[in-house]
C-alpha cells in the first residue's frame, strides 16, 4: 500500500481523500514500479475529479496526469529499464501517488538537464503545445502567433515553443504580473485582456493584417475576438476551455477569413500517430539538453497541501506549472 490522493466521488477538491492505504496493482512481467518524486497539476485534473473531462476513469481513482520519479522494481520481462533509472510518466490519471505501477513502454527517460520537479511538469504541457504548433498549425518562422492564457501551464510552453520555432509571439493574459512571466519567456508583445481591448491591440500590433495562428487553451469570450483578428489562411487551435464556457463561433468567419479551426487532442494523437509522437519527444529532449527551452515552475506544494495547489489552478492564480512533491529532496 502507498500514500495517494484518491477521488472516491466526483466533486471539488475538498472531496478528495489523502490516504496511506491505496493498493497498487500487482507488478506484471512487463510492468515497472516507480517511486514518485514530483507530479504536475494540470487543468484536466480539475475537470476529471468533477466528472467533467472527456476521458473518465472508474471510481475510485487517483488523479494526476504526469509525474517524475525513480524506478524501484521491474517485472521479469522488462528490458527498457533498470532499478535506479530516472523516468517521467504521462497518462490520464494515477500520478498523485507515492508510487505507480504501469507498463514499461509508458515511461520515458527524464531529460538529464532537468530536476525532478521540472521534469514532473513537462509530459502534458510541452507535448500538447509542440503537437499543436508543429503538426496541427504547421507554424512557420516569421509568422505571428497569439497565445491566450499565455502564463498558464500550456500557454507558457506555447510562448516558449513559438519563439523556438521562429514565430513572432503575442502573449495575452489577465494581469501585468502574468505578462511579466511571458516577457521572460521571450514574448515579443504582450496584451492584458483584463484592461485592454484585445481586438484593437491585435489590429495595432499586426498593422491590421491579423495573426497567423491562435493558440487557445482558455475558451470563453475571447475566442471569437481572436478568430475575428486572424489573418487570411490563419489557423485557430482549440486546445481547451479553462475559462469554463465552450464558445460558439459563427462559421461564416472561417469563410470570410479563409481560416481553419483546428482541434488539438494530444492524448488521441499519441495513439493514432505514435511514430510522430516519438519524433516530437526526440526534438523536445534535445532542446531541453541544449537549454533552448526550460520549464517554468512557480508553485510547489507537498502533496499534503494539495488543496492549495488546486486553489491556485482553479482561481487562475497559477503561473507556469503547479507541482506536488512526494520526495522533499526532489526540490
Q: Burial, 327: exposed, middle or buried (Cβ in 10 Å; 0-12, 13-18, 19+)? A: middle
Percent of the chain with pLDDT over 70: 98
Give residue-wise pLDDT tens across range 2-25: 999 999 999 999 999 999 999 999
Cell of 170: 503575442
Give residue-wise pLDDT tens across range 207-250: 999 999 999 998 888 889 999 999 999 999 999 877 767 878 88
User: Do residues 150 and 174 lie in contact, with contact meaning Cβ atoms separated by under 8 Å?
Assistant: no
Angle at 51 between CA 121 and CA 266, to 5 degrees: 40
Higher pLDDT, 34 or 54: 34
Measure Cα distances from 27 to 31, 32, 72, 87 in Å: 6, 7, 11, 17
Judge whether residue 251 has pLDDT over 90. no
Pick the CATH number of 125-267 from 3.40.50.1000, 3.40.190.10, 2.60.40.10, 3.40.50.720: 3.40.50.720
Annotate the chain with three-state secondary structure.
Answer: CEEEEEECCCCCHHHCEEEEEECCCCCCCCEEEEEEEEEEECHHHHHHCCCCCCCCCCCCECCCCEEEEEEEEECCCCCCCCCCCEEEEECCCCCCECEEEEEHHHEEECCCCCCHHHHCCCCCHHHHHHHHHHHHCCCCCCCEEEECCCCCHHHHHHHHHHHHCCCEEEEEECCHHHHHHHHHCCCCEEEECCCCCHHHHHHHHCCCCCEEEEEECCCCCHHHHHHHCEEEEEEEEECCCCCCCCCCCCCHHHHHHCCEEEECCHHHHHHHCHHHHHHHHHHHHHHHHHCCCCCCEEEEEEHHHHHHHHHHHHCCCCCCEEEEECCHHHC
Across 186-195, average pLDDT: 94
Q: What mean pLDDT value characterizes the chain?
A: 93
Judge whether residue 328 has pLDDT over 60. no
User: Do residues 293 and 287 lie in contact, with contact meaning Cβ atoms separated by under 8 Å?
Assistant: yes
Across 98-127, average pLDDT: 95
Give residue-wise pLDDT tens across range 260-294: 999 999 989 999 999 999 999 999 999 999 999 99
Per-residue confidence at 254, pLDDT binned at 50, 70, 90? confident
Domains 2-122+297-330 and 125-267 share a fold: no
Q: What is the pLDDT of residue 162?
A: 97
Peptide bond into 60 cis (omega under 30): yes
Across 180-207, average pLDDT: 94
Question: What is the spatial distance between Cα 294 and Cα 14, in angstroms, rounded to a whole number?
Answer: 33
Per-residue confidence at 298, pLDDT binned at 50, 70, 90? confident
Per-residue confidence at 83, pLDDT binned at 50, 70, 90? very high
Q: What's the CATH code, domain 2-122+297-330?
A: 3.90.180.10
Domain boundaries, the chain: 2-122+297-330, 125-267
Q: What is the pLDDT of residue 247?
A: 78
Per-residue confidence at 121, pLDDT binned at 50, 70, 90? very high
Q: What is the pLDDT of residue 64?
A: 95
Residue 166 contacts by C-beta under 8 Å, 6 or more apart in sequence? Answer: 140, 141, 142
Judge whether residue 48 has pLDDT over 90. yes
Cβ density class 77-98: b for 16+ within 10 Å, e for less: ebebbeeebbbbbbbbbbbbbb
Cell of 190: 504582450
Measure Cα distances from 306 to 33, 70, 154, 169, 311 in Å: 23, 22, 20, 33, 9
Across 79-93, average pLDDT: 94
User: Do residues 53 and 65 lie in contact, with contact meaning Cβ atoms separated by under 8 Å?
Assistant: no
Matching residue, cell 535506479: 84
Q: What is the pLDDT of residue 244?
A: 67
Q: What is the pLDDT of residue 329?
A: 57
Judge whether residue 72 has pLDDT over 80. yes
Across 166-185, average pLDDT: 94
Across 164-192, average pLDDT: 95
Across 167-184, average pLDDT: 94
Matching residue, cell 496511506: 20
Judge whether residue 318 has pLDDT over 80. no
Amino acid at each position: 500500500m502507498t500514500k495517494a490522493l484518491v477521488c472516491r466521488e466526483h466533486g471539488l477538491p475538498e472531496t478528495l481523500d489523502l490516504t496511506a492505504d491505496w493498493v497498487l496493482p500487482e507488478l506484471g512481467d512487463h510492468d515497472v514500479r516507480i517511486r514518485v518524486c514530483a507530479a504536475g497539476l494540470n487543468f484536466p485534473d480539475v475537470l476529471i475529479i468533477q466528472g467533467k473531462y472527456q476521458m473518465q476513469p472508474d471510481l475510485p481513482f487517483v488523479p494526476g496526469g504526469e509525474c517524475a520519479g525513480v524506478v524501484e522494481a521491474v517485472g521479469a520481462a522488462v528490458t527498457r529499464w533498470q532499478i535506479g533509472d530516472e523516468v517521467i510518466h504521462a497518462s490520464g490519471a494515477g500520478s498523485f501517488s507515492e508510487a505507480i505501477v504501469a507498463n514499461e513502454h509508458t515511461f520515458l527517460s527524464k531529460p538529464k538537464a532537468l530536476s525532478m520537479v521540472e521534469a514532473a511538469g513537462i509530459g502534458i504541457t510541452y507535448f500538447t503545445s509542440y503537437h499543436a504548433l508543429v503538426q496541427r498549425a504547421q507554424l512557420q518562422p516569421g509568422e505571428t502567433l497569439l497565445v491566450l492564457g499565455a502564463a498558464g501551464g500550456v500557454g507558457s510552453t506555447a510562448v516558449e515553443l513559438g519563439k523556438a520555432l521562429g514565430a513572432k509571439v503575442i502573449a495575452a493574459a489577465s494581469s501585468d504580473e502574468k505578462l511579466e512571466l511571458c516577457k521572460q519567456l521571450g514574448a515579443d508583445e504582450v496584451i492584458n485582456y483584463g484592461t485592454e481591448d484585445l481586438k484593437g491591440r491585435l489590429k495595432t500590433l499586426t498593422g491590421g493584417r491579423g495573426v497567423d495562428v491562435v493558440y487557445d487553451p482558455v475558451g470563453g469570450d475571447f475566442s471569437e475576438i481572436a478568430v475575428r483578428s486572424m489573418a487570411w489562411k490563419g489557423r485557430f487551435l482549440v486546445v481547451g476551455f479553462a475559462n469554463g464556457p465552450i464558445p460558439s463561433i459563427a462559421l461564416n468567419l472561417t469563410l470570410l477569413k479563409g481560416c481553419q479551426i483546428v482541434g488539438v487532442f494530444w492524448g488521441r494523437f499519441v495513439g493514432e500517430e505514435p511514430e510522430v509522437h516519438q519524433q516530437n519527444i526526440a526534438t523536445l529532449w534535445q532542446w531541453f539538453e541544449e537549454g533552448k527551452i526550460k520549464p517554468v515552475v512557480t508553485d510547489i506544494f507537498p502533496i499534503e497541501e494539495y488543496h492549495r495547489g488546486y486553489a491556485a489552478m482553479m482561481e487562475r492564480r497559477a503561473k507556469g506549472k503547479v507541482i506536488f512533491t512526494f520526495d522533499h529532496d526532489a526540490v
